[in-house]
Structure 1
Amino acid sequence: MTDAVRCPCLSGNDFDSCCGPLLQGSPAPTAERLMRSRFTAFTLEDAEHLLRTWHPTTRPDSLDFDPGLSWRRLLIIDRVAGGPFDDEGVVEFEAFWRQGAERGSLHERSRFVREDRRWYYLDGAVR
């Protein structure tokens, strides 16, 4: 028996029952779950998932990852709507990073929309 790998989003669940299925293409049931899977995708440098879950009207053509940047921890600060029966949602978070000796965080209030039963990241306001 192998040990379960803890999900990088720090939900407390193991990767295979948390963000793993979403990174493989399963739809997120809520805006927060999509936010958590996107954080996990940044930790794993999974540009495919990030681009696939970015709304087409705001999606960049490509993504570049900063060399040596390590995303360490995700803190969900606030949620507004974004449930399984909503079409819009907001998730405010702080994501902590390390790059060499430097440490910092990104604090963002992100907007999500649900279309055709799939949640998409629309945009965010950095705080």
Structure 2
Amino acid sequence: MFRAPIAPSDPCPCGSSAAYRDCCGRLHASLAEAATAEELMRSRYSAFVAGDSAYLLHSWSSETRPRSLELDPEQQWEGLELIRVVKGGPDDAAGKVEFRARFRAGGTVQDQHEVSTFVREDGRWVYRGALAHR
């Protein structure tokens, strides 16, 4: 399956009310860094939607980042629901974001429920890992 690119004027897949170019698109294009753990988590979800493995690796902690990342081209991400955000603000050093993401794989809709942890590395937010994954 071919993933269509996200047009700059399309609604951002992360669920904000902004256009992709004004939201996660500016982070994917390295025009800005995420200001909060929540913003980074949303941008990582949008990177999964876009199939942008380079951004996912760039936004991953150097302590836990894999050498490479192969995304399943058959997987279609269909929605993001934020459940809870703990810390992760502009003045914090760490934060957690609990979310549920829906995706379709092999014709079946599935649900990923996770509590992701984020830390600052060299002054920027990065994804460290998942505390709970269902």
Query: How many pairs are equivalent?
Result: 125
Q: Which runs of 5+ in 2 are unaligned?
A: 1-7
After superposition, the C-alpha distances for 1:72-92 in whole angstroms (9 at most, x for unaligned) are 101010000000010000000
What is the 5 A alignment of 1:23-38? 23-25=28-30, 26-38=32-44
What is the 5 A alignment of 1:1-127? 4-25=9-30, 26-124=32-130, 125-127=132-134
d(CA) in 2 for partners of 1:48, 1:121: 14
d(CA) in 2 for partners of 1:59, 1:74: 23
d(CA) in 2 for partners of 1:61, 1:51: 8
d(CA) in 1 for partners of 2:104, 2:121: 34
Deviates more, 1:7-16 or 1:79-88: 7-16
d(CA) in 2 for partners of 1:108, 1:65: 18
Q: Per the alignment, in what secondary structure is the counterpart of residue 129 of structure 2?
A: strand
Contact map agreement 2:61 2:121 (CA 8 A) in 1: no
Query: Percent identity between the aligned chains?
Result: 46
d(CA) in 2 for partners of 1:62, 1:82: 26
Misfit runs of 4+, over 4 Å? none
Report how far residue 68 of structure 1 moved: 1.1
After superposition, the C-alpha distances for 1:29-53 in whole angstroms (9 at most, x for unaligned) are 0000000000000011101100000
Q: Which runs of 5+ in 1 are unaligned?
A: none
Q: Per the alignment, in what secondary structure is the counterpart of residue 111 of structure 2?
A: strand
Q: What is the RMSD of the two structures over their aligned residues, measured on CA atoms? A: 1.2
Report how far residue 115 of structure 1 moved: 2.4
In the alignment, what sits opposite 2:3? none
Contact map agreement 2:79 2:103 (CA 8 A) in 1: yes
Give the TM-score, by structure 2 length.
Answer: 0.89
d(CA) in 1 for partners of 2:106, 2:122: 42
Give the TM-score, by structure 1 length.
Answer: 0.94
Q: Per the alignment, in what secondary structure is the counterpart of residue 42 of structure 2?
A: helix
Deviates more, 1:99-108 or 1:53-62: 99-108
